[in-house]
Structure 1
Amino acid sequence: MACQQLRSTSLPVRPHALVQELEDELQRLRSGAAASAPSPSPAALVGRLGDAYGRIEELVGLPGGRDVLSSARWRGAVEAALDASVAVLDLCERARDAAASAKQHARAARRALRRGDAALARSAVRGYVRCLGKAGKQAAGAKKFMSKRAPADAEAPAAVKVLSEAVAVTVAVLQRAMASLSARAVDTRRSRWCAVSRLLGGELSRVVCRDLDGEDGAMSAQETLQELEDNVEAVESGLEHLFRQIVQSRVALLNVLTL
């Protein structure tokens, strides 16, 4: 009897702890995605967000959570969360495609430099910046649209509140990831990036990087392009993980409504 009583009093602790962990992690991710904050690497942000969605799936699957979310009162909120997940999946897929294209552009730029074709290398670096910039603008547009959504009801279940916050954080993280990857190719403040940024042309790049002509400059560009390629590949992998986790959390919500 004592064992049963202990078990019954300890059951509510787990959902509460999980909610608190998710809320804290989403807040950390939101802060990391803020433009004014020193941010973790884009790959780290995206990877942690994917892990958070894995915990959201766990939250939705808790017996108490399923009972509340399947109730008639909160059905509309769950359906709204499902609709938002479709938009987020589309945005995530576009970011993943942009990362894959950027990786190919960085690779093409390295090959062109090895052949001594500066014009082709310049075109490839511009392609790298362009495709990431486009994905960043799409995320910014989605962020503006999402900001107009009504906040979750104050009495809404914890899972609904967390899902609403996760949507906003996802958009912010994707925008920051694309912007960070793009900015590294044009950062003239640090000499190690000059050899790549000068490929984009412009008076500022030429002045800052004029001492990088010749073999040493070409080697510096090769190394920097390799790092760009590695960074964007890590983000691409993180986006694949994030995409799968969002899908799984969506399936968990669908199961709540249909099972």
Structure 2
Amino acid sequence: MAAYHARSNSFPSRQHPLIPEFDEQLCRLRSSEAASSSSASLSGKLSGLQDLHDCVDKLLLLPLNQQALSNQKNEKWVDELLDGSLRLLDMCNTAKDALQQTKESTQELQSIIRRRRGGESSLSSELKKFLNSRKAVKKALHKAMESKCAFSLLNRDQEVVSMLREVQSITLSVFESMFFFISGPKSSSWSLVSKLMNSKTVSCEKVNESNEFASADAALNLLISHKMKNSDSTVEENAQKQLQELEMCIQDLEEGVESLYRRLIKIRVSLLNNLNH
């Protein structure tokens, strides 16, 4: 439901240039939902959300929209939108925490692999520590997805409210995609490990069947596997490569999430201001 074909008087004239811009951005994000998940596609979705929220921020400055949101009969819907904005901010903070924790663990492990202090036993311990940290991150993300509340449907007569509801819905969808990308299917890592264990050689191309998070998990599980020889430097080199790629992926996602967070705060402030008028 990208475009609104019948708008009430509570929404600006269809001729306003912001309306087709809003519809186009929303349609673009909706069409990208079916795309395969990758760090590049997620970064693109986060960038698209930023543009969409910038457009919404401009729409909320229009007098007719401000009047509609401050109308007492719409107070219930605005309260609901404020609740929705809090849920989105909570999910944003969950994403930030997950990325920050994984980045710190990734940087620490890269440093330990380079130094190799304490020998093989110490390295194995640190690898397990990293994977346990990943399990904690996955658990937090799965809990966040399970506890989220679905946004209720709004009266189609309340066009400006319906527009904001649609924006919250697509934002929630992108967060869910990102959470699944970071946590991955429960069996993804060991599935990749199994394929690698049964092959004669270990190649980056095979590990890269999945995303950067799952690829790093698989490479590290392979490194600590008792079935692999300790002298196999190819496995360790590949693990280092996957960790480096994971760190770059996290950096891109962190920038997108932080930028979106600022926009979510701005929209929430606008809603509060309109509600208090």
After superposition, residues 74-153 of structure 1 pair within 5 angstroms as 74-116=74-116, 117-142=123-148, 145-146=149-150, 149-153=151-155
User: Over aligned residues, Cα RMSD in angstroms?
Assistant: 3.1
SS across alignment from 1:61: coil
1:171 counterpart residue number: 172
Q: CA deviation at 1:57?
A: 1.1
Instruction: Specify which structure has the higher proportion of helix.
Output: 1
CA 1:172–1:212: 2 relative to 1, 3 Å: farther
Letter of the structure 1 residue corresponding to residue 171 of structure 2: T
Counterpart contact for 1:140–1:175, Cα < 8 Å = no
TM, length-normalised to structure 2: 0.73
SS across alignment from 1:12: coil
2:260 counterpart residue number: 242
State which of 236, 249, 266 in structure 2 corresponds to 1:218. 236
- How far apart are the structure 1 equivalents of 2:229 and 2:26? 44
- How far apart are the structure 1 equivalents of 2:97 and 2:29? 22
Letter of the structure 2 residue corresponding to residue 28 of structure 1: R
SS across alignment from 1:163: helix
Counterpart contact for 1:105–1:127, Cα < 8 Å = yes
Letter of the structure 1 residue corresponding to residue 144 of structure 2: Q
- How far apart are the structure 2 equivalents of 1:42 and 1:206? 35
Q: CA deviation at 1:94?
A: 1.5
1:6 counterpart residue number: none
State which of 131, 154, 157 in structure 2 corresponds to 1:155. 157
Counterpart contact for 2:207–2:218, Cα < 8 Å = no
1:38 counterpart residue number: 36
Counterpart contact for 1:50–1:242, Cα < 8 Å = yes
CA 1:206–1:22: 2 relative to 1, 3 Å: farther
Q: CA deviation at 1:201?
A: 5.8
Letter of the structure 1 residue corresponding to residue 154 of structure 2: A
Letter of the structure 1 residue corresponding to residue 180 of structure 2: A
Per-residue Cα deviation, 1:94-143 (whole angstroms, up to 9, x for no partner) = 1111111111111122123223413312321341353145224413431x
- How far apart are the structure 2 equivalents of 1:30 and 1:102? 29
1:257 counterpart residue number: 275
Counterpart contact for 2:220–2:239, Cα < 8 Å = no
SS across alignment from 2:60: helix
Letter of the structure 1 residue corresponding to residue 155 of structure 2: D
Letter of the structure 2 residue corresponding to residue 153 of structure 1: N
State which of 161, 176, 191 in structure 1 corresponds to 2:206. 191
CA 1:216–1:256: 2 relative to 1, 3 Å: same
Per-residue Cα deviation, 1:159-208 (whole angstroms, up to 9, x for no partner) = 311211222222221121122133398372752446751423699x888x
Q: How many residues align?
A: 238
SS across alignment from 1:151: coil
Identity of aligned residues (%): 25
SS across alignment from 1:19: helix
TM, length-normalised to structure 1: 0.78
